[in-house]
Structure 1
C-alpha cells in the first residue's frame, strides 16, 4: 500500500488511529492545524535566537517534515521543527573572539549544515549496524553532560548581551515565563516560552507609548521598531540577503531580518556547533522509542532512518539559510492527547507551515522582537537546556559516586562553562576550540580514557541513550 493511501476510519471514543489510517479529511485538516500550533512557538523562537529568518524556518520545517515522512516510509509520525540544540553553537559563533571570528549568519548556517551531514551519516551507520555502537560511545553520563554544557555555556550571553538592552523588561519577561510555565496546564503550559515572548513584546510596545524611548540624545531608540514590518510584503518568498553585521553587533541588535543565503564553511565554527549532534542523536532515539510505545509497534528498524532523515532535513534547511531541524516533543504530546497517529495529519501540517512561511510580514514582525524580551526568555531557556542534562542523568540513575563518571565529566563541564562563548582553547594560532567544543572533547575523550584504565567494578553498567527516559525533550520542546 502506498504511504499516500490511508484507510479512513471513524474510531470509537478512546480508540487509536494508526499511522496508516486517517479520520475524515475535514478532521484530518483540523488535526494538522493543531500540530502546526504545537510546533509553532518554538519553531520561530529558536531561529530568532540564532539570528536567522523565522519565515524561512517555518517554511523549511514543512519541507523537512515531508522529506522525513518519505524516508521513514510513513511509519514514524513526526514533525521536524527548529532545534534548540544549536542555539548554543550559533551564539558561540556570533561572539567568538578567536582567529577568524566573530562569525555571521552564513557561518552559523554553514556550521549547522556540517552537523546535519554528520547526523545523517550517524543515522546511516545505525541503520546498517544497529544502535549498540552509539549506546557505547554516548552513554547517558556523556549525553547529559554535553546537553548541560550547551545550556550553561550561554549564561553570559543572556546577562551580558541581551539583558543590557532593557534590564527591567528582561526581568519582567522572565517572571512571566516562569509564572506561565508553572501556572498554566496542558498545551498552554507547553508553549510558555512562546507566550512569554508575546507578553514581553506587547509590554515593550505599551512601554514605548507610556514611558517613551530608551536612552537619550543620539542613543535614544524605541523598544519596538516596526519600520521593516510596514515595508514587508504580505506574500512572497523570504528575501535574499546577507547581513553586513557580525558577532556581538549582530546579536545585540537582533537583526533577525536576514533572509535566505548561501552558507559559509569554517572548521573552527563547525566544531562549535558539532556537539549538538550528540543531543540530537539521543533526542531522535528517544522520540522513536516514545512513538513506538504509543503506537504499540516495533519501530527499531526505523531508528537509523529517522536519525538520517533529521540530518537530511537540517542539511536541506541550512543550505538556503534556514535553521536546523529536529523531531518535536510538542507533537508527541498532541498525539498522546488525541491518540491519532495518522501521518496524513503531518503531511497537512507540513503544507500549512510552507504556506505560512510565505508571509514576509510575519517574519518581519518576529524580527522586531526587542532584545530585552529575548534577554528574559533566554534566562529561562538556557537554564532549561542545561538542566535537561541533569534530567538525563537522573532518569538513567547515573552514579557520580564512581570516579569514572565524576572526574572526567566535571573537568569537561568546568572547562566549557568557564570559557563561555567568548573564550577559546588554542590548538594553533589559526585554530581554536570554543567553550562548547573544548568541553565536549574533554567529556567524551576523558570518559572513555577513564573507562580504559578503570577496574571492572569501577566501570559499572552503562545504560542506552535510546531509552525513553533519556529522551532529550527540548525546552519546552527542542
Structure 2
C-alpha cells in the first residue's frame, strides 16, 4: 500500500478541495511545494542561530532531522515543519552571556537549557497523549499565554538596540524596507517580509562596504556541520536551565495551535488527537538539537501560510522539505554566507522581529477576548511585562546561580493568575473560563 494516495489527477487541486495529509500531487509538483516550504521557513530558521551565535548549518541540519522525526512520530498524519523557535533567543542570549569565560563562549550552558526544554516538553506530550489537552487549557489560559509570549519578545528590546547602534544607517534602511515589504506585499511574499528585508539590508550593507567575506572565502563547499556538546556540570548550566523553562509554555501553545489550525483547515477534527504526539515529537527534536549544538525547534506559522495558500496539506511535501534542509546543511560555505550578515542588518530586522513577538502575545489576548476589567488579568499582564522589560534579576554572587527577567516574569504571571483565581473562587466571585487558545501561529512559528 503506498504511503500517499494520489489526489485527483495528480496535477491540480479542484476549487474548494484540499490535498489531505495522506494524499499528494505528482512528484514534480510535490517537490516544488516542498522547496517552497524550505523558502518559507528559511528566513526565520537562519535568523535564530545568527542572533544567538549558534552554527547555522547545525541548526539547519536538526531542523530537517526534526521535521522527519515529527512526521514519523505522528505517522504522516500531521503536516508540519520544525524550524528554530524565536522563543529560545532570549534565554540563549542570557545563558551564553552569563557563562562565557575565556575560550568558552557559553554555548554548552545554553545547550543544556535547550535539552531540558526538550525533555520536559516530551514528558508533557506523553501526559497530553494519555490524559487529553484540557488540562493545558486550564493551566495556560489566553491571558497567561499572551503574557508569556509578549514578555519574551519585549525582553529582547535591549539586544535589538545594541545591534542597531553599531550601524544605525544600515539598520534604519533594513527596518524601513522590511516594513515596506510587509505592507506592500500580500500572500506568500508578505509572510516572508523579514527574509526579504534581510536580503535587501545585506545588499545595502555591501554597497556601504560593511560586509566581511573572509570566512566565506575560507569555507569549503561541502562538509559536516560543527557540533557542540551541552554542559550539565556547572552551576551556570543549572541557572540556564531555569531561564529556559518558560519556553516550554510557549512551545505548548505553538504546537496546540498548530494542530488545531490544521484540523480546522482540513476539516478533520480527528487530527486534534495528534496533539500529544506533536508535543512529543517537538520535544525529542529539541532535545536532539540541544545534544549536538542546534537551536530548539517548534512548528512553523510560515508553513501553515504556505498550506493555506496552496491548499496542499500533504506530508509528502514536508519529507521533501526536511531532506532539502539536511542537504543544505552540508555546505560550510553556505553557512559562512549566512553568518556574514552584518550587525546593522540584524539591528534593523530584530527591532521589528522582537517587537512582533511581543505584539503576537497581545494578539492572543485580542483573539481570545481576554477580559482586562478583571484585576487578576490586569496584574498578571502588568507585572509580567514590567519584570521582563526591566530585566529584573536574582543572583547569588557566591555560586553564580541567577534567575533572569524571563524566568521571574513567567513565575510571577503564573502565580498571580492562578492564586488570584483561587482567591476569587474561595470568595465565590468566579474565575476566568479556561477556553482553548485560538489564533496561534505567526512569524517564526511563535504563537499568534
Moved more, 15-24 or 364-373: 15-24
Give me the whole-angstrom Cα distance separating, in 2, the residues matched to 1:456 and 1:152: 36
Q: Determine the structure 1 residue equivalent to 2:364.
A: 392
- Alignment partner of 1:77: what SS? coil
Q: Determine the structure 1 residue equivalent to 2:290.
A: 318
Deviation at 1:449, TM superposition (A): 1.1
Q: Determine the structure 2 residue equivalent to 1:294.
A: 265
- Alignment partner of 2:86: what SS? coil
Deviation at 1:416, TM superposition (A): 2.1
- 1:358 counterpart = 2:327: no
C-alpha contact 1:76 1:288 (8 A) present in aligned 2: yes
- Would you say how many aligned residue pairs link Structure 1 and Structure 2? 435
C-alpha contact 1:148 1:386 (8 A) present in aligned 2: yes
Q: Determine the structure 2 residue equivalent to 1:445.
A: 415
- 1:165 counterpart = 2:166: yes
- 1:457 counterpart = 2:429: yes
- Alignment partner of 1:34: what SS? helix
Deviation at 1:13, TM superposition (A): 2.6
1:24 to 9, 26, 35: 26
Q: Determine the structure 2 residue equivalent to 1:335.
A: 307
Q: TM-score normalized by structure 2?
A: 0.92
Give me the whole-angstrom Cα distance separating, in 1, the residues matched to 2:444 and 2:118: 20
Give me the whole-angstrom Cα distance separating, in 2, the residues matched to 1:97 and 1:182: 40
Structure 1 spans left out of the alignment, 5+ residues: 209-222, 239-258
**Displaced runs of 4+ in structure 1, greater than 6 A?**
97-100
Q: TM-score normalized by structure 1?
A: 0.87
1:285 to 224, 242, 256: 256
C-alpha contact 1:282 1:472 (8 A) present in aligned 2: no
Cα 1:39–1:53 change in 2 (3 A) is same
Deviation at 1:97, TM superposition (A): 8.6
Moved more, 335-344 or 69-78: 335-344
C-alpha contact 2:298 2:445 (8 A) present in aligned 1: no
- Alignment partner of 1:106: what SS? helix
Cα 1:269–1:477 change in 2 (3 A) is closer
C-alpha contact 1:427 1:433 (8 A) present in aligned 2: no
CA-based RMSD:
2.1
Give me the whole-angstrom Cα distance separating, in 2, the residues matched to 1:126 and 1:360: 39
C-alpha contact 1:381 1:475 (8 A) present in aligned 2: no
Give me the whole-angstrom Cα distance separating, in 2, the residues matched to 1:436 and 1:464: 24
Deviation at 1:472, TM superposition (A): 4.3
Q: Determine the structure 2 residue equivalent to 1:212.
A: none
Per-residue CA distance 1:295-337 (angstroms, 9 max, x = gap): 1212121110011111111111221101111111111111111
- Alignment partner of 1:224: what SS? coil
Deviation at 1:278, TM superposition (A): 0.8
